[in-house]
Structure 1
């Protein structure tokens, strides 16, 4: 349903480093910097797997903070996302685990990014070990 989205970040380079680390376990990476002549000098860049789908741009931090949930192919990816995001300076906002109040197979983890946005990785696949 959503083709791409993004958010304003208070420190572009810090956010770029954070999201590069946090999204890597999900198979995403920093793919593209928009040339500054197209953005009036504002730093703008996109993350994704084969095309940019999540964008950041320099500016004031989102107010109020927002929530983004990224798709994970497995529960192991959710776990790896959480660990990588914390190692990159994120703040724990919900350890990896089942959230049956959302759906019986909802397995997610939450971190706050450097600007306080609630960033999540979620897997909806049933656990292969049960």
Structure 2
């Protein structure tokens, strides 16, 4: 895993929760814990992402989730757009980041840049 976990505040918890449920589903990342104003997302019992209210002063962030393959990157991008995200770079190779760096980027409802990346060659 490229990171242990990350957390940030959101302006509208329900809208953001629904966005991440749909966008991260293709990466096999789902809600592990949830309360009225926060949720923890992860896989295999390991929390990767916390979101919650109230929105405090904070800057926008970039989060990259590891995808199992390039199809999952494409599925993430499609699901995130359908969930209300804005395109910030469609699925494709990013040779400036590495020979097999295949990624897609979306802007979430709070303006955060969310990425799914697969670093494996297409088989």
Q: How does 1:1-130 map to 2 (within 5 A)?
A: 2-34=3-35, 43-51=37-45, 52-60=47-55, 63-128=58-123
Q: Distance in 2 between the 1:62 and 1:114 partners?
A: 16
Q: List gaps (5 residues or longer) in structure 1.
A: 37-42
Give the number of aligned pairs.
121
Aligned-partner Cα distance in 1 for 2:106–2:26: 14
- Which runs of 5 or more structure 2 residues have no equivalent in the other structure? none
Contact 1:7-1:62 within 8 A present in 2 as well: no
| Contact 1:98 1:107 (C-alpha < 8 Å) held by counterparts | yes
Q: CA deviation at 1:6?
A: 1.0
TM superposition score normalised by structure 2:
0.92
Indicate the residue corresponding to 1:39 in structure 2: none
